[in-house]
Amino acid sequence: MAPSLAGVSCLVTGAGGFLGQRVVELLLAEEEALAEIRLMDLAFSPKLLKTCDEYCGKTKLQLLKGDIQDAEFLMRACHGLSLVIHTAAIIDTLGTVPTEKLMGVNVRGTQLLLDACIENSVKYYVYTSSLEVLGPNSRGDPVINGSEDLVYESTNHFPYAQSKSMAEKCVLQANGQKLNNGASLVTCALRCMYIFGEESQFLSVLLDGAINNGDVFQRYSRKEAAVNPSYVGNVAWAHIQAAKAMKDPERVARIAGRFYYISDDTPHMSYSDLNFELGRGLGFGVESKMRLPLPLMYVLAFVLEMLSLLLSPFMRYVPPTNRHLINLQNTPFTFSYKNAQKDFDYKPRYSWEDAKQITTKWLASQVPLRKEFLKHHKKR
């Protein structure tokens, strides 16, 4: 019999976020209903609140508004659960968030949630990790169809990447810890690629930039810097498949305490060319080449970083780009999901064509709204 989440009580952290909402939607669509889903975040979108209000299934829904750094709140939130799917995190590739806050949410929050699981005997813990745990490194060493066995020298010291690496380590090291009821904690981490899809804030920002640029996306990435972005619905589905496998006695030993790369069948392409593929049906173009040669971009980023450092005693200046981000956007870096497929039956739920169509349809609904907003913003 295929593993099932029937009767499971689950907490989804970051349930108001881009990925968390999709995890919740797919959990509600399960053929065999969960007993309860607790949705935890600091805020919830109108769409998610409407979904909860209109839901008429067997699963009990509970909204929990609170901070991942509040230990007492987490203890209450985890009482009576058997599964936690931890998607909550601050994502920051520009360095806009103070490091202390980043570490507090991404690392301390993850550890506090582990502590609450142990105290409340929550047996299963699925963690949303990031490809940036591995790299790319500062040399820009490429990876093509990498696997979990890859030996790669990671030299990435950017705060966000460090916070995800530290949090992932906490999660995987906690695997096997004794719970209060005498059972053992089962954990795994899913290293996700760049996630795209409808309602992506990143896509909204890029869309604004393209509109301001005459409906042409700026080229931030070399065409040959192929990566494998993944559709949000597929990444959410991987979390659910991992959770199901944890309840399967034959599979749990294979995935316990391990990390997995989660990608899908989106064609390998640069980030800039992904934007074009999603927007071309709406008449958007993409610049044929980068505005500055890559070596000059690194030099400019270095100068801006030094300026930020010099100004730090007097004011906080966040450069519009940095060497880490340039490296991230311009290093060929692709990974296979074969081990996830082998160990917990993950395979993309949505094809590339379906994902592109859904995302483009959403972009089409946003274009007139964003153009109107930007038009009035310029008048001010």
Using DSSP's 3-state secondary structure scheme, residue 222 falls into coil
The C-alpha atoms of residue 209 and residue 274 are separated, in whole angstroms, by 15
55 catalytically annotated: no
Establish how many alpha carbons lie within 13 A of residue 65's alpha carbon, considering only the half-sphere containing its beta carbon: 5
Q: Specify the pLDDT at position 1.
A: 55
Give the chain's mean pLDDT: 94
Mean pLDDT of 166-179: 97
pLDDT average, residue stretch 195-220: 94
Ordered by where they begin, the domains of the chain are 9-198+227-269+334-352 (3.40.50.720)
In this predicted structure, the answer to whether residue 33 has a pLDDT above a threshold of 80 is yes
pTM (two decimals):
0.95
- Cβ atoms within 10 Å, residue 68: 25
pLDDT band at 113 (very low <50, low <70, confident <90, very high): very high
Q: Residue 77 pLDDT more than 70?
A: yes
Band of the pLDDT at 267, cuts 50, 70, 90?
very high
Catalytic residue among 160, 261, 271, 337: 160
> Measured between alpha carbons, how far is residue 202 from residues 195, 198, 370 in Å?
9, 10, 14
Tell me which residue of 338, 141, 319, 158 sits closest to 225, measured CA to CA: 141
pLDDT band at 54 (very low <50, low <70, confident <90, very high): confident
